[in-house]
Chain A
Amino acid sequence: MEQLLAFAYEHMDMIYIVILSIILGIEVIESVPAVLHTPLMSGANAIHGVVIVGAIIVMGTASPDNIIALILGFLAVILGTLNVVGGFVVTDRMLDMFKKKPAKKD
Protein backbone atom coordinates (compact mmCIF):
# COMPACT_ATOMS: atom_id res chain seq x y z
CA MET A 1 0.00 0.00 0.00
CA GLU A 2 2.73 2.43 1.00
CA GLN A 3 4.63 1.50 -2.15
CA LEU A 4 1.65 2.42 -4.24
CA LEU A 5 1.19 5.76 -2.49
CA ALA A 6 4.89 6.50 -2.78
CA PHE A 7 4.67 5.74 -6.49
CA ALA A 8 1.75 8.12 -6.88
CA TYR A 9 3.60 10.77 -4.88
CA GLU A 10 6.71 10.50 -7.04
CA HIS A 11 4.77 10.76 -10.27
CA MET A 12 2.24 13.34 -9.16
CA ASP A 13 2.92 15.73 -12.06
CA MET A 14 2.41 12.92 -14.58
CA ILE A 15 -0.85 11.93 -12.91
CA TYR A 16 -2.07 15.53 -13.07
CA ILE A 17 -1.25 15.71 -16.78
CA VAL A 18 -2.97 12.40 -17.52
CA ILE A 19 -6.18 13.29 -15.69
CA LEU A 20 -6.39 16.83 -17.05
CA SER A 21 -5.68 15.64 -20.62
CA ILE A 22 -8.41 13.02 -20.36
CA ILE A 23 -10.94 15.59 -19.19
CA LEU A 24 -9.80 18.00 -21.89
CA GLY A 25 -10.22 15.38 -24.59
CA ILE A 26 -13.76 14.63 -23.41
CA GLU A 27 -14.71 18.31 -23.20
CA VAL A 28 -13.40 19.09 -26.66
CA ILE A 29 -15.35 16.29 -28.33
CA GLU A 30 -18.66 16.59 -26.57
CA SER A 31 -19.67 19.85 -28.18
CA VAL A 32 -18.93 18.73 -31.73
CA PRO A 33 -21.78 18.59 -34.28
CA ALA A 34 -22.16 15.22 -36.03
CA VAL A 35 -21.24 16.90 -39.31
CA LEU A 36 -17.67 17.29 -38.15
CA HIS A 37 -17.19 13.81 -36.69
CA THR A 38 -15.32 12.39 -39.67
CA PRO A 39 -12.89 15.31 -40.05
CA LEU A 40 -12.38 15.39 -36.30
CA MET A 41 -11.62 11.68 -36.15
CA SER A 42 -9.20 12.18 -38.99
CA GLY A 43 -7.59 15.17 -37.25
CA ALA A 44 -7.23 13.26 -33.98
CA ASN A 45 -5.76 10.43 -36.03
CA ALA A 46 -3.08 12.80 -37.30
CA ILE A 47 -2.32 14.07 -33.79
CA HIS A 48 -1.53 10.62 -32.41
CA GLY A 49 1.09 10.53 -35.14
CA VAL A 50 3.16 12.31 -32.47
CA VAL A 51 4.42 8.79 -31.82
CA ILE A 52 6.90 9.73 -34.59
CA VAL A 53 8.82 11.64 -31.89
CA GLY A 54 9.44 8.31 -30.15
CA ALA A 55 10.53 6.74 -33.42
CA ILE A 56 13.01 9.57 -33.99
CA ILE A 57 14.45 9.11 -30.49
CA VAL A 58 14.76 5.33 -30.99
CA MET A 59 16.47 5.79 -34.34
CA GLY A 60 18.75 8.55 -33.10
CA THR A 61 19.96 6.63 -30.04
CA ALA A 62 20.42 3.27 -31.78
CA SER A 63 24.08 2.30 -31.98
CA PRO A 64 25.36 2.27 -35.56
CA ASP A 65 26.28 -1.43 -35.44
CA ASN A 66 22.84 -2.61 -34.36
CA ILE A 67 21.51 -3.29 -37.82
CA ILE A 68 18.12 -4.66 -36.73
CA ALA A 69 17.38 -1.62 -34.54
CA LEU A 70 18.41 0.66 -37.41
CA ILE A 71 16.17 -1.06 -39.93
CA LEU A 72 13.21 -1.22 -37.57
CA GLY A 73 13.76 2.38 -36.46
CA PHE A 74 13.95 3.56 -40.06
CA LEU A 75 10.67 1.74 -40.77
CA ALA A 76 9.09 3.29 -37.66
CA VAL A 77 10.09 6.79 -38.79
CA ILE A 78 8.55 6.19 -42.23
CA LEU A 79 5.31 4.78 -40.79
CA GLY A 80 5.02 7.54 -38.19
CA THR A 81 5.54 10.21 -40.84
CA LEU A 82 2.89 8.56 -43.01
CA ASN A 83 0.48 8.83 -40.10
CA VAL A 84 1.28 12.50 -39.50
CA VAL A 85 1.47 13.80 -43.06
CA GLY A 86 -1.30 11.62 -44.47
CA GLY A 87 -3.54 12.41 -41.52
CA PHE A 88 -3.20 16.17 -41.69
CA VAL A 89 -3.42 16.37 -45.49
CA VAL A 90 -6.56 14.20 -45.63
CA THR A 91 -8.17 16.25 -42.85
CA ASP A 92 -7.31 19.46 -44.66
CA ARG A 93 -8.89 18.16 -47.86
CA MET A 94 -12.09 17.26 -46.04
CA LEU A 95 -12.32 20.60 -44.27
CA ASP A 96 -11.50 22.49 -47.44
CA MET A 97 -14.86 21.37 -48.80
CA PHE A 98 -16.75 22.88 -45.91
CA LYS A 99 -15.00 26.18 -46.48
CA LYS A 100 -16.30 26.70 -50.03
CA LYS A 101 -19.94 27.12 -49.10
CA PRO A 102 -20.13 30.66 -47.77
CA ALA A 103 -18.56 31.88 -51.00
CA LYS A 104 -21.23 30.05 -53.00
CA LYS A 105 -24.12 31.61 -51.11
CA ASP A 106 -25.50 34.76 -52.56
Chain B
Amino acid sequence: MMGDYILEIAYLIASVLYILGLKMMSGPKTARSGNLWAAAGMTVAIIATIFLYTDESGNHLHNLPWIGAGIAIGSVIGWIIAKRVEMTAMPQMVSLFNGMGGACAAIIGLIEFPHYLHNGDWLILATIFAGLVIGSVSFAGSMVAFLKLNGNLNKDIRLPFYNIINTLLIVVTLGLTVCLAGGHIHSNPELWVYMLLGLSLAYGILFVLPIGGADMPVVISLLNSFTGMAAAFGGFLYGNMAMLTGGILVGSAGTILTVVMCNAMNRSLTAVIFGAFGTGGATATAASGEQKSYKQTNPSDLAVLLNYSSKVIIVPGYGLAVAQAQHVVHEMEQLLESRGVEVKYAIHPVAGRMPGHMNVLLAESNVEYDKLVEMEDVNPEFATTDVVLVLGANDVVNPAAKEDPSSPIYGMPILNVEDAKHTVVNKRSMSVGYAGIDNDLFYRDKTSMLFGDAKKALTELVAELKSL
Protein backbone atom coordinates (compact mmCIF):
# COMPACT_ATOMS: atom_id res chain seq x y z
CA MET B 1 0.00 0.00 0.00
CA MET B 2 2.79 2.35 1.00
CA GLY B 3 4.13 2.11 -2.53
CA ASP B 4 0.80 3.22 -3.99
CA TYR B 5 0.74 6.33 -1.82
CA ILE B 6 4.25 7.28 -2.84
CA LEU B 7 3.45 6.61 -6.52
CA GLU B 8 0.48 8.97 -6.47
CA ILE B 9 2.52 11.65 -4.72
CA ALA B 10 5.29 11.17 -7.28
CA TYR B 11 2.73 11.75 -10.04
CA LEU B 12 1.53 14.87 -8.26
CA ILE B 13 5.10 16.18 -8.09
CA ALA B 14 5.62 15.31 -11.77
CA SER B 15 2.45 17.14 -12.80
CA VAL B 16 3.40 20.26 -10.84
CA LEU B 17 6.86 20.17 -12.42
CA TYR B 18 5.42 20.05 -15.97
CA ILE B 19 3.13 22.96 -15.27
CA LEU B 20 5.90 25.04 -13.69
CA GLY B 21 8.28 24.03 -16.47
CA LEU B 22 5.87 24.99 -19.22
CA LYS B 23 5.15 28.29 -17.47
CA MET B 24 8.88 29.05 -17.13
CA MET B 25 9.41 28.19 -20.80
CA SER B 26 7.22 31.14 -21.73
CA GLY B 27 9.84 33.68 -20.61
CA PRO B 28 13.24 34.04 -22.30
CA LYS B 29 15.20 34.19 -19.04
CA THR B 30 13.64 31.21 -17.31
CA ALA B 31 13.02 29.10 -20.41
CA ARG B 32 16.02 26.85 -20.15
CA SER B 33 15.57 25.94 -16.51
CA GLY B 34 11.86 25.47 -17.20
CA ASN B 35 12.72 22.77 -19.72
CA LEU B 36 14.98 21.09 -17.17
CA TRP B 37 12.25 21.18 -14.50
CA ALA B 38 9.82 19.55 -16.92
CA ALA B 39 12.44 16.90 -17.74
CA ALA B 40 12.95 16.30 -14.01
CA GLY B 41 9.20 15.82 -13.64
CA MET B 42 9.26 13.27 -16.42
CA THR B 43 12.14 11.39 -14.78
CA VAL B 44 10.23 11.26 -11.49
CA ALA B 45 7.13 9.89 -13.23
CA ILE B 46 9.08 7.23 -15.16
CA ILE B 47 11.15 5.97 -12.22
CA ALA B 48 8.18 5.93 -9.86
CA THR B 49 6.13 3.94 -12.39
CA ILE B 50 8.84 1.35 -12.92
CA PHE B 51 9.40 0.63 -9.24
CA LEU B 52 6.11 1.45 -7.53
CA TYR B 53 3.30 0.59 -9.96
CA THR B 54 1.10 -2.33 -8.92
CA ASP B 55 -1.89 -3.84 -10.71
CA GLU B 56 -5.28 -4.59 -9.10
CA SER B 57 -3.99 -7.73 -7.41
CA GLY B 58 -0.95 -5.92 -6.01
CA ASN B 59 1.65 -7.38 -8.36
CA HIS B 60 4.63 -5.23 -9.28
CA LEU B 61 5.62 -4.79 -12.93
CA HIS B 62 7.61 -7.59 -14.49
CA ASN B 63 9.75 -7.70 -17.64
CA LEU B 64 11.89 -5.02 -15.98
CA PRO B 65 15.04 -5.92 -17.96
CA TRP B 66 13.10 -5.41 -21.19
CA ILE B 67 11.76 -2.08 -20.00
CA GLY B 68 15.25 -1.00 -18.97
CA ALA B 69 16.67 -2.09 -22.32
CA GLY B 70 13.94 -0.22 -24.22
CA ILE B 71 14.56 2.96 -22.26
CA ALA B 72 18.32 2.64 -22.75
CA ILE B 73 17.99 2.16 -26.53
CA GLY B 74 15.50 5.01 -26.87
CA SER B 75 17.65 7.34 -24.76
CA VAL B 76 20.84 6.69 -26.70
CA ILE B 77 19.20 7.08 -30.12
CA GLY B 78 17.16 10.11 -29.04
CA TRP B 79 20.18 11.78 -27.48
CA ILE B 80 22.38 11.22 -30.54
CA ILE B 81 19.76 12.46 -33.04
CA ALA B 82 18.92 15.48 -30.91
CA LYS B 83 22.57 16.45 -30.41
CA ARG B 84 23.60 15.99 -34.03
CA VAL B 85 20.74 17.66 -35.85
CA GLU B 86 21.40 20.99 -37.53
CA MET B 87 19.46 23.94 -36.17
CA THR B 88 17.89 24.39 -39.61
CA ALA B 89 16.39 20.92 -39.38
CA MET B 90 14.64 21.70 -36.09
CA PRO B 91 11.04 21.72 -37.41
CA GLN B 92 11.26 18.24 -38.88
CA MET B 93 12.94 16.98 -35.68
CA VAL B 94 9.99 18.17 -33.59
CA SER B 95 7.72 16.46 -36.09
CA LEU B 96 9.71 13.21 -35.91
CA PHE B 97 9.71 13.04 -32.10
CA ASN B 98 6.03 13.93 -32.10
CA GLY B 99 5.34 10.99 -34.41
CA MET B 100 7.20 8.66 -32.04
CA GLY B 101 4.91 9.71 -29.18
CA GLY B 102 1.86 9.18 -31.37
CA ALA B 103 3.06 5.69 -32.35
CA CYS B 104 3.66 4.89 -28.70
CA ALA B 105 0.08 5.86 -27.82
CA ALA B 106 -1.27 3.81 -30.74
CA ILE B 107 0.68 0.71 -29.73
CA ILE B 108 -0.67 0.95 -26.17
CA GLY B 109 -4.16 0.84 -27.64
CA LEU B 110 -3.25 -2.15 -29.84
CA ILE B 111 -2.00 -4.16 -26.87
CA GLU B 112 -4.84 -3.24 -24.52
CA PHE B 113 -7.89 -3.68 -26.71
CA PRO B 114 -8.01 -7.53 -26.73
CA HIS B 115 -8.37 -7.52 -22.91
CA TYR B 116 -11.58 -5.53 -23.05
CA LEU B 117 -13.07 -6.30 -26.46
CA HIS B 118 -15.41 -9.07 -25.37
CA ASN B 119 -16.24 -8.15 -21.81
CA GLY B 120 -15.42 -4.47 -21.58
CA ASP B 121 -17.71 -1.60 -20.85
CA TRP B 122 -18.08 0.85 -23.70
CA LEU B 123 -16.29 3.64 -21.86
CA ILE B 124 -12.99 1.77 -21.54
CA LEU B 125 -13.19 0.60 -25.15
CA ALA B 126 -13.97 4.11 -26.37
CA THR B 127 -10.95 5.43 -24.43
CA ILE B 128 -8.67 2.77 -25.91
CA PHE B 129 -9.89 3.38 -29.47
CA ALA B 130 -9.64 7.15 -29.09
CA GLY B 131 -5.97 6.78 -28.09
CA LEU B 132 -5.40 4.33 -30.94
CA VAL B 133 -7.04 6.51 -33.60
CA ILE B 134 -5.55 9.86 -32.51
CA GLY B 135 -2.12 8.33 -31.93
CA SER B 136 -2.11 6.71 -35.39
CA VAL B 137 -3.25 9.90 -37.13
CA SER B 138 -0.56 11.83 -35.29
CA PHE B 139 2.10 9.25 -36.17
CA ALA B 140 1.26 8.99 -39.87
CA GLY B 141 0.75 12.73 -40.25
CA SER B 142 4.00 13.57 -38.46
CA MET B 143 5.95 11.20 -40.65
CA VAL B 144 4.55 12.84 -43.79
CA ALA B 145 5.32 16.29 -42.34
CA PHE B 146 8.83 15.09 -41.51
CA LEU B 147 9.41 13.82 -45.06
CA LYS B 148 8.05 17.04 -46.54
CA LEU B 149 10.15 19.36 -44.39
CA ASN B 150 13.18 17.17 -44.85
CA GLY B 151 12.82 17.53 -48.61
CA ASN B 152 12.18 13.85 -49.32
CA LEU B 153 8.67 14.64 -50.41
CA ASN B 154 8.56 17.91 -52.26
CA LYS B 155 5.23 17.93 -53.98
CA ASP B 156 1.92 18.74 -52.37
CA ILE B 157 0.05 15.69 -53.60
CA ARG B 158 -3.66 16.21 -53.95
CA LEU B 159 -5.92 13.35 -54.86
CA PRO B 160 -8.92 14.41 -56.89
CA PHE B 161 -11.73 15.41 -54.51
CA TYR B 162 -9.32 15.00 -51.60
CA ASN B 163 -11.57 17.08 -49.36
CA ILE B 164 -14.45 14.70 -49.91
CA ILE B 165 -12.23 11.64 -49.51
CA ASN B 166 -10.75 12.98 -46.27
CA THR B 167 -14.12 13.93 -44.84
CA LEU B 168 -15.48 10.48 -45.74
CA LEU B 169 -12.48 8.89 -44.04
CA ILE B 170 -13.16 10.83 -40.82
CA VAL B 171 -16.82 9.84 -40.87
CA VAL B 172 -16.06 6.17 -41.51
CA THR B 173 -13.34 6.13 -38.84
CA LEU B 174 -15.61 7.75 -36.26
CA GLY B 175 -18.49 5.45 -37.18
CA LEU B 176 -16.33 2.35 -36.87
CA THR B 177 -15.00 3.57 -33.51
CA VAL B 178 -18.53 4.03 -32.18
CA CYS B 179 -19.65 0.62 -33.48
CA LEU B 180 -16.64 -1.16 -32.01
CA ALA B 181 -16.85 0.59 -28.64
CA GLY B 182 -20.59 -0.02 -28.42
CA GLY B 183 -20.08 -3.72 -29.11
CA HIS B 184 -22.22 -3.64 -32.24
CA ILE B 185 -19.78 -5.66 -34.31
CA HIS B 186 -20.07 -9.30 -33.38
CA SER B 187 -18.29 -11.14 -36.14
CA ASN B 188 -14.54 -10.99 -35.81
CA PRO B 189 -14.21 -7.60 -34.09
CA GLU B 190 -10.39 -7.96 -33.88
CA LEU B 191 -10.16 -7.70 -37.63
CA TRP B 192 -12.21 -4.52 -37.54
CA VAL B 193 -9.88 -2.98 -34.97
CA TYR B 194 -7.01 -3.50 -37.40
CA MET B 195 -9.20 -1.93 -40.08
CA LEU B 196 -9.63 1.02 -37.72
CA LEU B 197 -5.85 1.25 -37.36
CA GLY B 198 -5.45 1.17 -41.14
CA LEU B 199 -8.09 3.86 -41.65
CA SER B 200 -6.47 6.12 -39.04
CA LEU B 201 -3.04 5.76 -40.61
CA ALA B 202 -4.49 6.45 -44.05
CA TYR B 203 -6.27 9.51 -42.75
CA GLY B 204 -3.08 10.83 -41.13
CA ILE B 205 -1.24 10.50 -44.44
CA LEU B 206 -4.01 11.98 -46.59
CA PHE B 207 -4.60 14.78 -44.08
CA VAL B 208 -1.03 16.14 -44.32
CA LEU B 209 -0.21 15.25 -47.95
CA PRO B 210 -2.16 18.07 -49.62
CA ILE B 211 -1.14 20.71 -47.08
CA GLY B 212 1.69 22.67 -48.50
CA GLY B 213 4.20 25.29 -47.92
CA ALA B 214 3.72 27.92 -45.31
CA ASP B 215 1.07 25.95 -43.46
CA MET B 216 3.43 23.19 -42.31
CA PRO B 217 4.24 24.72 -38.87
CA VAL B 218 0.54 24.95 -38.12
CA VAL B 219 0.14 21.27 -38.98
CA ILE B 220 3.01 20.23 -36.74
CA SER B 221 1.59 22.23 -33.87
CA LEU B 222 -1.80 20.64 -34.44
CA LEU B 223 -0.35 17.12 -34.55
CA ASN B 224 1.56 17.97 -31.39
CA SER B 225 -1.68 18.67 -29.59
CA PHE B 226 -3.16 15.46 -31.06
CA THR B 227 -0.41 13.42 -29.44
CA GLY B 228 -1.10 15.27 -26.20
CA MET B 229 -4.72 14.18 -26.40
CA ALA B 230 -3.72 10.59 -27.20
CA ALA B 231 -1.52 10.60 -24.08
CA ALA B 232 -4.43 11.99 -22.06
CA PHE B 233 -6.67 9.11 -23.20
CA GLY B 234 -3.96 6.76 -21.96
CA GLY B 235 -4.22 8.60 -18.66
CA PHE B 236 -7.98 7.96 -18.54
CA LEU B 237 -7.44 4.29 -19.31
CA TYR B 238 -5.00 3.72 -16.46
CA GLY B 239 -6.40 6.38 -14.14
CA ASN B 240 -2.88 7.77 -14.34
CA MET B 241 -2.66 11.39 -13.21
CA ALA B 242 0.77 12.14 -14.66
CA MET B 243 -0.36 11.06 -18.14
CA LEU B 244 -3.67 12.85 -17.76
CA THR B 245 -2.33 16.25 -16.71
CA GLY B 246 0.68 16.14 -19.04
CA GLY B 247 -1.44 15.05 -22.00
CA ILE B 248 -4.23 17.57 -21.50
CA LEU B 249 -1.79 20.39 -20.81
CA VAL B 250 -0.05 19.76 -24.13
CA GLY B 251 -3.35 19.15 -25.89
CA SER B 252 -4.76 22.52 -24.90
CA ALA B 253 -1.48 24.46 -25.10
CA GLY B 254 -0.82 22.95 -28.53
CA THR B 255 -4.27 23.89 -29.77
CA ILE B 256 -3.87 27.49 -28.62
CA LEU B 257 -0.39 27.67 -30.14
CA THR B 258 -1.90 26.44 -33.42
CA VAL B 259 -4.52 29.18 -33.31
CA VAL B 260 -1.89 31.82 -32.46
CA MET B 261 0.16 30.72 -35.48
CA CYS B 262 -2.88 30.82 -37.74
CA ASN B 263 -3.63 34.35 -36.55
CA ALA B 264 -0.07 35.39 -37.30
CA MET B 265 -0.59 34.30 -40.90
CA ASN B 266 -4.16 35.56 -41.04
CA ARG B 267 -5.41 32.09 -41.95
CA SER B 268 -8.21 30.21 -40.30
CA LEU B 269 -7.60 26.69 -39.11
CA THR B 270 -10.31 25.34 -41.40
CA ALA B 271 -8.63 27.06 -44.35
CA VAL B 272 -5.37 25.32 -43.46
CA ILE B 273 -7.00 21.91 -43.18
CA PHE B 274 -9.51 22.09 -46.01
CA GLY B 275 -8.24 24.88 -48.26
CA ALA B 276 -5.59 24.20 -50.81
CA PHE B 277 -2.73 26.66 -50.47
CA GLY B 278 -1.24 28.09 -53.62
CA THR B 279 -3.53 26.59 -56.22
CA GLY B 280 -6.10 28.91 -57.83
CA GLY B 281 -4.31 32.25 -57.60
CA ALA B 282 -0.93 30.83 -58.49
CA THR B 283 -2.01 29.47 -61.84
CA ALA B 284 -3.74 32.76 -62.59
CA THR B 285 -0.51 34.70 -62.01
CA ALA B 286 1.50 32.26 -64.03
CA ALA B 287 -0.90 32.50 -66.94
CA SER B 288 -0.97 36.28 -67.04
CA GLY B 289 2.78 36.69 -66.44
CA GLU B 290 4.61 37.41 -69.64
CA GLN B 291 8.36 37.87 -69.21
CA LYS B 292 8.65 40.65 -66.64
CA SER B 293 11.93 42.47 -66.27
CA TYR B 294 14.01 42.82 -63.14
CA LYS B 295 17.26 44.50 -62.17
CA GLN B 296 20.31 42.62 -61.09
CA THR B 297 23.08 43.81 -58.79
CA ASN B 298 26.45 42.42 -57.71
CA PRO B 299 28.32 42.26 -54.41
CA SER B 300 30.64 45.21 -55.11
CA ASP B 301 27.83 47.63 -56.04
CA LEU B 302 25.82 46.44 -53.07
CA ALA B 303 28.81 46.91 -50.74
CA VAL B 304 29.07 50.57 -51.79
CA LEU B 305 25.34 51.07 -51.38
CA LEU B 306 25.35 49.54 -47.89
CA ASN B 307 28.49 51.36 -46.80
CA TYR B 308 26.96 54.78 -47.43
CA SER B 309 23.56 54.01 -45.98
CA SER B 310 22.55 55.18 -42.55
CA LYS B 311 19.98 52.50 -41.82
CA VAL B 312 19.81 48.92 -43.07
CA ILE B 313 17.18 46.30 -42.22
CA ILE B 314 17.87 42.63 -42.87
CA VAL B 315 14.95 40.30 -43.56
CA PRO B 316 16.14 36.75 -42.96
CA GLY B 317 14.26 33.80 -44.42
CA TYR B 318 14.57 30.08 -44.86
CA GLY B 319 17.07 30.51 -47.72
CA LEU B 320 19.49 32.00 -45.23
CA ALA B 321 18.98 29.07 -42.91
CA VAL B 322 19.49 26.49 -45.65
CA ALA B 323 22.72 28.15 -46.73
CA GLN B 324 23.89 28.19 -43.09
CA ALA B 325 24.67 31.88 -43.64
CA GLN B 326 23.65 33.15 -40.19
CA HIS B 327 27.27 33.60 -39.07
CA VAL B 328 28.26 35.57 -42.18
CA VAL B 329 25.23 37.79 -41.72
CA HIS B 330 26.32 38.54 -38.19
CA GLU B 331 29.82 39.37 -39.45
CA MET B 332 28.37 41.75 -42.04
CA GLU B 333 26.14 43.33 -39.44
CA GLN B 334 29.09 44.02 -37.13
CA LEU B 335 31.15 45.40 -40.00
CA LEU B 336 28.39 47.81 -40.97
CA GLU B 337 27.79 48.83 -37.37
CA SER B 338 31.49 49.64 -37.00
CA ARG B 339 31.08 52.08 -39.89
CA GLY B 340 28.15 53.82 -38.24
CA VAL B 341 25.35 52.10 -40.14
CA GLU B 342 22.32 51.19 -38.05
CA VAL B 343 21.45 47.53 -38.65
CA LYS B 344 18.33 45.67 -37.54
CA TYR B 345 16.72 42.35 -38.32
CA ALA B 346 13.03 42.24 -39.22
CA ILE B 347 11.51 38.99 -38.03
CA HIS B 348 8.24 37.92 -39.59
CA PRO B 349 6.21 35.73 -37.21
CA VAL B 350 6.45 32.76 -39.55
CA ALA B 351 9.87 33.44 -41.07
CA GLY B 352 11.68 30.18 -41.69
CA ARG B 353 9.51 27.15 -41.21
CA MET B 354 8.20 27.77 -37.71
CA PRO B 355 7.42 30.76 -35.54
CA GLY B 356 10.60 31.71 -33.74
CA HIS B 357 12.75 29.56 -36.03
CA MET B 358 14.74 32.58 -37.28
CA ASN B 359 15.29 33.83 -33.75
CA VAL B 360 16.77 30.49 -32.80
CA LEU B 361 19.06 30.49 -35.84
CA LEU B 362 20.28 34.05 -35.39
CA ALA B 363 20.75 33.47 -31.68
CA GLU B 364 23.01 30.56 -32.67
CA SER B 365 25.34 33.02 -34.40
CA ASN B 366 25.32 35.41 -31.40
CA VAL B 367 23.17 38.14 -32.93
CA GLU B 368 22.00 40.34 -30.06
CA TYR B 369 18.46 39.84 -28.87
CA ASP B 370 17.63 43.60 -29.14
CA LYS B 371 18.45 43.66 -32.84
CA LEU B 372 15.67 41.24 -33.68
CA VAL B 373 12.56 43.34 -34.22
CA GLU B 374 9.13 41.81 -34.65
CA MET B 375 6.85 42.65 -37.55
CA GLU B 376 4.47 45.13 -35.89
CA ASP B 377 7.37 47.15 -34.50
CA VAL B 378 9.52 47.17 -37.60
CA ASN B 379 6.90 47.88 -40.27
CA PRO B 380 6.67 51.67 -39.61
CA GLU B 381 10.48 51.85 -39.81
CA PHE B 382 10.83 50.74 -43.43
CA ALA B 383 9.88 54.20 -44.72
CA THR B 384 12.99 55.67 -43.10
CA THR B 385 15.26 52.83 -44.18
CA ASP B 386 17.87 53.17 -46.91
CA VAL B 387 18.40 49.55 -47.82
CA VAL B 388 16.39 46.45 -47.03
CA LEU B 389 18.32 43.25 -47.57
CA VAL B 390 15.96 40.31 -48.10
CA LEU B 391 17.96 37.13 -47.56
CA GLY B 392 16.21 34.01 -48.78
CA ALA B 393 12.76 35.20 -47.74
CA ASN B 394 9.97 35.38 -50.28
CA ASP B 395 6.33 34.96 -49.30
CA VAL B 396 6.63 37.12 -46.17
CA VAL B 397 7.62 40.14 -48.30
CA ASN B 398 5.15 39.55 -51.15
CA PRO B 399 3.06 42.70 -51.66
CA ALA B 400 0.34 40.57 -53.25
CA ALA B 401 -0.76 39.83 -49.70
CA LYS B 402 -1.92 43.44 -49.45
CA GLU B 403 -2.74 44.31 -53.04
CA ASP B 404 -4.09 41.31 -54.90
CA PRO B 405 -7.36 39.88 -53.51
CA SER B 406 -7.09 36.90 -55.87
CA SER B 407 -3.77 35.84 -54.40
CA PRO B 408 -3.84 32.78 -52.15
CA ILE B 409 -1.82 34.67 -49.54
CA TYR B 410 -4.06 37.75 -49.67
CA GLY B 411 -4.61 39.05 -46.14
CA MET B 412 -1.47 37.55 -44.62
CA PRO B 413 0.42 40.26 -42.71
CA ILE B 414 3.72 40.93 -44.43
CA LEU B 415 6.81 43.05 -43.93
CA ASN B 416 6.39 46.30 -45.86
CA VAL B 417 9.84 46.22 -47.43
CA GLU B 418 8.66 48.09 -50.54
CA ASP B 419 8.45 51.29 -48.42
CA ALA B 420 12.24 51.46 -48.17
CA LYS B 421 14.42 53.45 -50.58
CA HIS B 422 16.13 50.34 -51.94
CA THR B 423 15.29 46.70 -51.66
CA VAL B 424 17.90 44.09 -52.45
CA VAL B 425 16.71 40.51 -52.67
CA ASN B 426 19.13 37.62 -52.43
CA LYS B 427 17.81 34.40 -53.93
CA ARG B 428 19.28 31.50 -55.78
CA SER B 429 17.00 32.04 -58.77
CA MET B 430 13.74 33.68 -59.77
CA SER B 431 11.83 30.59 -58.65
CA VAL B 432 8.73 30.88 -56.49
CA GLY B 433 8.70 30.67 -52.70
CA TYR B 434 7.31 28.01 -50.42
CA ALA B 435 3.71 29.08 -51.05
CA GLY B 436 4.32 28.47 -54.75
CA ILE B 437 3.41 31.93 -56.03
CA ASP B 438 5.18 34.63 -57.98
CA ASN B 439 6.41 37.73 -56.15
CA ASP B 440 5.74 41.10 -57.75
CA LEU B 441 8.28 42.74 -55.45
CA PHE B 442 11.15 41.40 -57.56
CA TYR B 443 10.02 43.36 -60.62
CA ARG B 444 9.63 46.76 -58.95
CA ASP B 445 11.80 49.76 -59.78
CA LYS B 446 13.33 50.04 -56.34
CA THR B 447 14.19 46.36 -56.18
CA SER B 448 17.38 44.73 -57.38
CA MET B 449 18.24 41.06 -57.30
CA LEU B 450 21.45 39.53 -55.99
CA PHE B 451 21.51 35.96 -57.25
CA GLY B 452 23.40 33.14 -55.61
CA ASP B 453 23.61 31.01 -52.51
CA ALA B 454 23.15 33.26 -49.45
CA LYS B 455 26.40 32.21 -47.80
CA LYS B 456 28.50 32.63 -50.91
CA ALA B 457 26.93 35.96 -51.85
CA LEU B 458 27.32 37.34 -48.34
CA THR B 459 30.90 36.16 -48.03
CA GLU B 460 31.72 38.07 -51.21
CA LEU B 461 29.80 41.06 -49.90
CA VAL B 462 31.75 41.06 -46.64
CA ALA B 463 35.02 40.88 -48.58
CA GLU B 464 33.95 43.85 -50.72
CA LEU B 465 32.94 45.79 -47.62
CA LYS B 466 36.30 45.18 -46.01
CA SER B 467 38.12 46.47 -49.05
CA LEU B 468 36.21 49.76 -49.05
Partner of A41, one of B94, B108, B251, B372: B94
Shortest Cβ gap from B248 to chain A (Å): 4
Number of interface residues of A (CB under 8 A): 80
Q: Are B108 and A48 in contact (CB under 8 A)?
A: no
The total of Cβ contacts below 8 Å across the A-B interface reads 363
A36 cross-chain contacts in B, Cβ below 8 A? 25-28, 31, 356
Bound together, the chains give a CA A84 to CA B22 distance in angstroms of 15
A2 within 8 A of B: no
A62 cross-chain contacts in B, Cβ below 8 A? 63, 111
Q: Are B100 and A24 in contact (CB under 8 A)?
A: no
Shortest Cβ gap from A53 to chain B (Å): 5
B355 cross-chain contacts in A, Cβ below 8 A? 34, 37-38
In chain B, residues 49-70, which have Cβ atoms closer than 8 Å to a Cβ of chain A? 49-50, 53, 55, 60-64, 66-67, 69-70
In chain A, residues 53-106, which have Cβ atoms closer than 8 Å to a Cβ of chain B? 53-62, 64, 69-70, 72-101, 104-105
Shortest Cβ gap from A21 to chain B (Å): 4
Q: Are A37 and B260 in contact (CB under 8 A)?
A: yes
Shortest Cβ gap from B201 to chain A (Å): 15
A84 cross-chain contacts in B, Cβ below 8 A? 42, 46, 74, 78
Beyond the given A60-B61, A79-B104, A82-B78, please list 9 additional residue pairs across the A-B interface where CB-CB is below 8 A. Answer: A25-B255, A29-B260, A32-B26, A34-B347, A43-B25, A51-B105, A51-B243, A54-B105, A56-B50
Binding site for A on B (CB under 8 A): 14, 18-19, 21-23, 25-28, 31-32, 34-36, 38-39, 42, 45-46, 49-50, 53, 55, 60-64, 66-67, 69-71, 73-75, 77-79, 81-83, 85, 87, 90-91, 93-94, 96-98, 100-101, 103-105, 107-108, 110-112, 123, 220-221, 224, 227-228, 230-232, 234-238, 240-257, 260-261, 264, 347, 349, 354-357, 359-360, 363-364, 366, 368-369, 372, 374
